[in-house]
Amino acid sequence: MELGWLLWGAAVLLLLHFLMELSPAVNFVLRVGFYYFLFVVCSAMTAPVCILVNGGRTVKNMKIIKTVVKTFKYFFGLRFETKGLENFKVEGPAIIVSNHQSMLDMMGLMEVLPDDCVQVGKKELLYAGTVGLIMYLGGVIFINRKSTNSAKMVMAEVAKTMAADNVKVWVYPEGTRNCTGDLLPFKKGAFHLAIQAQVPVIPVVYSSFISFYNPKKSLFTSGKIKVEVLPPIETKGLTPDDVSDLTDRCYNTMRETLFKLSDLPCPSEAKDSS
């Protein structure tokens, strides 16, 4: 009986391998499924450790979570090339902003996440089973994106938390995933927060994933991701009137860096050269 199950198991694995080689769509679905499976299982296993070691919800748990998630890249053949990590070494709190491309961003986040840094995420993630639990334990701040008043109240509390707990806050200013190889317009919440708290903004840029991950083409293979942490942008002395300029400055700098890291010409530059 046991030998029969082993033979059936081997046959299924061989069939899956054959289908993955034969069909990009099957390969994509299986790799994405395995990615979610890893997160669900590892979250369930890591949550008790976080509770036992640190007693519950705290940003200190991110060190444990980071250690676990950083191993995921080996399952998918992803390599990270980082630059500028020294720019995280600012005294006191800061707002970190980065581009947001896909579900793979969680691996990229954990690859460079500095100590004492919490993330801002959509409230729906809180209800994502064991993944929501581990995010809660890691101190993630959940925002209801459908309610402007609620989001503003949460961000006001974030400003107080930054000052009281001396933590950095990681925000995705595009507001949603964007796997186009370019940046979406930035929402201004993070920049309002930075000026309100008078803390620096640290831009982080990840190269485009589209050469190895593209849901529209059912593409998910191995690849290299370049990450650059840009120099902090000071906000001391700035007022709410400067929010738009600060937003535009970060957007233009990050967009230029995105195309540089992705070895692609910036559309505006390509247009000028024609």
pLDDT confidence of residue 11: 54
pLDDT confidence of residue 10: 56
pLDDT tens per residue across span 212-224 = 999 988 899 899 9
Architecture of domain 2-273: 3-Layer(aba) Sandwich (3.40)
pLDDT confidence of residue 19: 53
What mean pLDDT, rounded, does the chain reach?
Answer: 87
pLDDT confidence of residue 164: 78
pLDDT confidence of residue 186: 95
pLDDT confidence of residue 271: 38
pLDDT confidence of residue 2: 59
pLDDT confidence of residue 272: 39
Ranges of residues in the chain whose predicted pLDDT is under 50? 1, 269-274
pLDDT confidence of residue 20: 57
Return the HEC string of the chain: CHHHHHHHHHHHHHHHHHHHHHCHHHHHHHHHHHHHHHHHHHHHHHHHHHHHHHCCCCCCHHHHHHHHHCCCHHHHCEEEEEECHHHHCCCCCEEEEECCCCCCHHHHHHHHCCCCEEEEEEHHHHHCHHHHHHHHHCCCEEECCCCHHHHHHHHHHHHHHHHHHCCEEEECCCCCCCCCCCCCCCCCHHHHHHHHHCCCEEEEEECCCCCCEEHHHCEECCEEEEEEECCCECCCCCCHHHHHHHHHHHHHHHHHHHHHHCCCCCHHHHHHHC
